[in-house]
Amino acid sequence: MQAWAQQSPTRYALVFIGNSITYGATLRSPQKEAPPVQMVKILERKGYPIRYANCGHSGSTTADFLPASNRLFPKVMQAADSLYDAGVELLFSIMLGTNDSAAEGPAGAPVAPEQYKRNLQLIIDSLHQRYPRSHFMLHQPIWYSPNTQNRSVYLEEGLKRLQTYTPQLELLIKENPEFVLKGDRKVFAFFKKNPEKYFTPEKNPSGIFYLHPNALGAQKLGAFWADCFEKYFHP
């Protein structure tokens, strides 16, 4: 978990929940280049007073963040506890699904779309009960190339499964309109059109695959997230 405190008065507190993409895997310095860092930089330049914590964890699925699993949920609570205060808007920014979609490897994978929704609802309900004034922004998981395979197996089957998760995000927003917000839905198509420019090339026996954004891709992802944030919150 990475957390940074700003000296100026805090109005917004952000906790980022995600996998290796949120963490900043393959970047030279995730602490300085990861998508959450890029998002916060953009918002701070626009006058948003922000404190944040990056709880992105490589290889994680929605199952890893379930309270009952006791794997990553305690770290999220620790981060939120350190940021939550009276008068501060607490937002959980969530992008999960890449590892859920894998055919084999990560915890619980492959995760059916209905189970994906149930897992996210449990995570959201548990956090909202503990932090009743909090909000949740659900981002569509980003594209990866259909030949993606490392220690886990994704491939075309996984990519197809990944795209069944977005309707479940829309249902969660519809069913929890008071505190669940619509996040990014544009970057999937953007990255699909520009993989060589915005992804770190990684190798497997079939050749080059694209899974993790490079430094420029992390900037773009952070910018897409910042655009979504600005639709709901003001400096």
Average pLDDT along the chain: 96
Residues in a beta bridge with 9:
none
- pLDDT, residue 235, reads 87
Residue 202: pLDDT over 80: yes
**Domains of the chain, with CATH numbers?**
2-232 (3.40.50.1110)
Q: Where are the alpha helices (DSSP H) in the chain?
A: 20-23, 30-33, 35-45, 73-83, 113-130, 155-162, 166-175, 187-193, 195-198, 215-232
- Over the stretch 144-187, which tens digit does the pLDDT of each residue have? 999 999 999 999 999 999 999 999 999 999 999 999 999 999 99
- pLDDT, residue 126, reads 99
Confidence bin at 5 (pLDDT 50/70/90) = very low
Q: Using CA atoms in the order 226, 23, 91, 160, what is the torsion angle rounded to 10 degrees?
A: 80
Q: What is the mean pLDDT of residues 76-92?
A: 94
Confidence bin at 9 (pLDDT 50/70/90) = low
- pLDDT, residue 85, reads 86
- pLDDT, residue 86, reads 76
Residue 174 makes CB contacts below 8 A (sequence gap 6+) with none
Residue 1: pLDDT over 50: no
CB 191 within 8 A of CB 159: no
Percent pLDDT > 90 in the chain is 93
CB 20 within 8 A of CB 212: yes
Confidence bin at 7 (pLDDT 50/70/90) = very low
CA 124 to chain centre: 14
